[in-house]
Amino acid sequence: MKVAITFIGTNKYLNFLPKYYENIEKYFLPNTEKVILAFTDGELNDTPDNLKVYHQEHLEWPYITLRRFEIINKAREVIDECDWLVFIDADAIPVDTITEEEFFTDKPLFGVHHPCHALGMQPHNKYPGAFETNVKSRAHVTESDDTTMYWQGCLWGGKIPEVCAMIDELMERTNLDLEDGIVAQWHDESHINRYFIDNKDKVHTLGPQYAFPEVFADHCNFSPKIVHLAKDNSKYQT
């Protein structure tokens, strides 16, 4: 098995790469062949053989996150040589061993249960929660949809080619929204939720411990596997 892991780190987010790479190698699928695809506007020299670098101009917030499907697609040639693709946010760091058995199942897609939804925190404790409700957006979710689960956009992926079909579809939907002057409330995450609701029987949902929020760790009743690092968003989302 070979797994592609995608890292998008432009501007200050590139600072997360050393720890990200170190912990991916140490904790994330330690016995599995991995290639890390790094999309950045920074300079990287003397990189390991399994770290492939793609130039990506920094886009102002929120377009750097909204266009991540388009960005990832730049590495399609390498992705097509792999068995699985995993997207992990630049500021999400594995801190405990994660094996193939716990991460991959017979379902071809996976996402992570948003910790705020899992803990019943506002606004996630009742519809519409964080779902996109603008009916003009391709990400919109209605009360008649199955809204029992809300996935966080920091961690998702799947088997090739199912995850590539998802990337292609969401790339088209986000571009159509932008052509209509629409930005979904939670950007790429909103589109992921719409797609996962429509394909729920294909989605393996990882527990919130795989998106452990360092910013309110004291509220969590689960131990971290991947920590979403606390940071001053005003310094990064520029």
Q: Tens digit of pLDDT for each residue in 40-49?
A: 999 999 999 9
The more confidently predicted of residues 125 and 178 is: 178
The predicted model scores a pTM of: 0.96
Q: What is the mean pLDDT of residues 126-142?
A: 96
Helices 162-179 + 187-198 axis angle, to 10: 130
Q: How confident is the model at residue 37, as a pLDDT?
A: 98
DSSP E strands, 102-194: 109-113, 151-159
* Residue 30 CA to its chain's centroid (Å): 20
Q: Is residue 237 predicted with pLDDT exceeding 90?
A: no
- Give the pLDDT confidence score for residue 38 in this predicted structure: 98
Q: Is the pLDDT of residue 238 over 80?
A: no
> What pLDDT, on a 0 to 100 scale, did the predictor assign at position 71?
98
- Of the CA atoms within 13 Å of residue 7, those in its CB half-sphere come to 31
Superfamily of domain 2-236: Spore Coat Polysaccharide Biosynthesis Protein SpsA; Chain A (3.90.550.10)
Domain ranges of the chain: 2-236
Among 55-59, 94-98, 156-160, 228-232, the range scoring the smallest mean pLDDT is: 228-232
- Beta-bridged to residue 109, according to DSSP, are 158, 203
